[in-house]
């Protein structure tokens, strides 16, 4: 997971204080006499629960990997998985997809983004976010982030004024860190912009007691290997809105009357003529991916507790040893539960570019 990558960086920081403290203009950089080395691949994810391994083998033995090759919704592994994810996040509807990038793109398509439409989003995020905006036919306009690595609400307000034609804001909860979501939602409401949430990194994170992803009209979570759920690739579009859920299912590939094989979409009357009015992009999640995800949902809270305990222990050691050289971002007031599966830090502003390069 990303946490393991952070451990590698932290190990270097704790072992290399003398590098950061040395004079970068001297001919020789003084290095620490003790170095920390990693003996395992830092990108090694947690293993798939045995239940998921067995379910995947069973599905492979039947050959029914296609989500709709079942007699009814209750028999669908993908529909069962959607139900588990929706129950965990507290959303009414859930559509499983082949990636979170697809979910981000569909959120924009399903909420009326026009070709060439401007979408405000964090400048500090992963490349998949502006890529999804481009995929949906939009144009990304970047909002600055603050020292705590979250969207700067003041800059959001200024950008909404500067771009009056912007009708969408996609807030990205990078590394699980939430901005002031009440202020973000209020700004969007006052300026007539649709708010959607990229929750790829914030599965399990809560804002004022409610799971992340409820301030916007729709949200997306990920099951790419370095996230809290792991199917290699995968994602889920979550919403409480009937029309968005129906459109997302059809765009994903619920053609004709295949919506009847879902458990977490609205009734057939909401779909109406959608299957013949909008395209089928074939973005469905396979039964194989759902089989390995479903049992992981039940382990989320246990793993979150373990990751958080480890995070706080490492933070304490860092602050004791090199706290004068770095700061760790603070949580936004209003975050009532955080998921610390990775760790980021800011180097002190007194550290020069040469020292960073030496580090």
Among 6-10, 38-42, 280-284, the least confident range = 6-10
Among 23-27, 143-147, 263-267, the least confident range = 23-27
Measured between alpha carbons, how far is residue 71 from residues 74, 94, 285 in Å?
8, 20, 17
Q: What percent of the chain stands above pLDDT 90?
A: 84
Checking if the pLDDT of 355 tops 90, the result is no
Task: For 152-184, write each residue's pLDDT tens digit.
Answer: 999 999 999 999 999 999 999 999 999 999 999
Q: What percent of the chain stands above pLDDT 70?
A: 89
Span 184-206, mean pLDDT?
Answer: 98
Checking if the pLDDT of 143 tops 50, the result is yes
Reported as a pLDDT band with limits 50, 70 and 90, residue 34 is low
Span 201-209, mean pLDDT?
Answer: 98
In this prediction, residue 33 carries a pLDDT of: 53
How many degrees, rounded to 5, is the angle at CA 153 between CA 152 and CA 158? 100
Checking if the pLDDT of 31 tops 60, the result is no
H or E element at residue 301:
helix 300-322
Span 19-31, mean pLDDT?
Answer: 41
Pick from 235, 156, 244, 240: which is nearest to 201 by CA?
Answer: 235
Checking if the pLDDT of 121 tops 50, the result is yes
Pick from 233, 235, 232, 273: which is nearest to 252 by CA?
Answer: 235
In this prediction, residue 4 carries a pLDDT of: 39
In this prediction, residue 40 carries a pLDDT of: 76
Reported as a pLDDT band with limits 50, 70 and 90, residue 230 is very high
Span 304-318, mean pLDDT?
Answer: 95
Checking if the pLDDT of 16 tops 50, the result is no
Span 318-342, mean pLDDT?
Answer: 95
Q: Which residue has the higher pLDDT, 5 or 169?
A: 169
Span 127-153, mean pLDDT?
Answer: 97
Contact between 344 and 328 under an 8 Å Cβ cutoff? The reply is: yes
Checking if the pLDDT of 22 tops 70, the result is no
Distance from C-alpha of 237 to C-alpha of 200, rounded to nearest angstrom: 10
Distance from C-alpha of 2 to C-alpha of 347, rounded to nearest angstrom: 19
**Averaged pLDDT score across all residues of the chain:** 91
The sign of the dihedral angle between the CA atoms of 184, 186, 189, 195 is positive
């Amino acid at each position: 997971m990303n946490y393991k990558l952070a451990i590698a960086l932290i190990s270097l920081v704790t072992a290399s204080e003398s590098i950061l403290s040395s004079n970068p203009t001297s001919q020789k950089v003084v290095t620490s006499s003790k170095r920390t080395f990693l003996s395992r691949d830092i990108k090694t994810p947690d293993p798939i629960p045995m239940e998921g391994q067995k379910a995947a083998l069973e599905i492979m033995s039947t050959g029914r990997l296609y989500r709709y090759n079942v007699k009814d919704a209750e028999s669908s592994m993908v529909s069962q998985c959607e139900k588990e994810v929706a129950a965990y996040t507290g959303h009414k509807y859930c559509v499983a997809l082949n990636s979170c990038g697809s979910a981000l793109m569909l959120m924009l398509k399903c909420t009326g983004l026009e070709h060439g439409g401007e979408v405000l989003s964090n400048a500090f995020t992963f490349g998949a976010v502006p890529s999804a905006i481009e995929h949906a036919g939009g144009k990304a306009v970047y909002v600055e982030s603050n020292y705590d690595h979250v969207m700067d609400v003041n800059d959001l307000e200024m950008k909404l004024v500067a771009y009056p034609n912007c009708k969408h804001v996609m807030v990205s909860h990078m590394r699980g860190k939430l901005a002031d979501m009440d202020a973000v939602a209020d700004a969007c409401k006052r300026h007539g912009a649709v708010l959607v949430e990229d929750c790829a990194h914030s599965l399990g994170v809560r804002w004022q007691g409610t799971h992340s992803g409820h301030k916007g009209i729709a949200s997306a979570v990920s099951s790419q290997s370095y996230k809290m759920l792991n199917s290699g690739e995968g994602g889920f579009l979550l919403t409480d809105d009937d029309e968005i859920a129906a459109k997302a299912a059809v765009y994903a590939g619920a053609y004709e009357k295949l919506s009847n094989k879902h458990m977490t979409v609205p009734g057939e009357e909401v779909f109406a003529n959608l299957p013949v009015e909008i395209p089928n992009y074939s973005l469905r999640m396979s039964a194989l991916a759902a089989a390995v995800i479903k049992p992981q949902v039940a382990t989320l809270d246990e793993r979150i507790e373990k990751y958080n305990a480890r995070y706080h222990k490492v933070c304490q050691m860092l602050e004791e040893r090199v706290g004068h050289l770095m700061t760790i971002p603070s949580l936004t007031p209003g975050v009532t539960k955080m998921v610390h599966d990775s760790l980021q830090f800011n180097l002190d502003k007194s550290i020069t570019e040469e020292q960073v390069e030496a580090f």
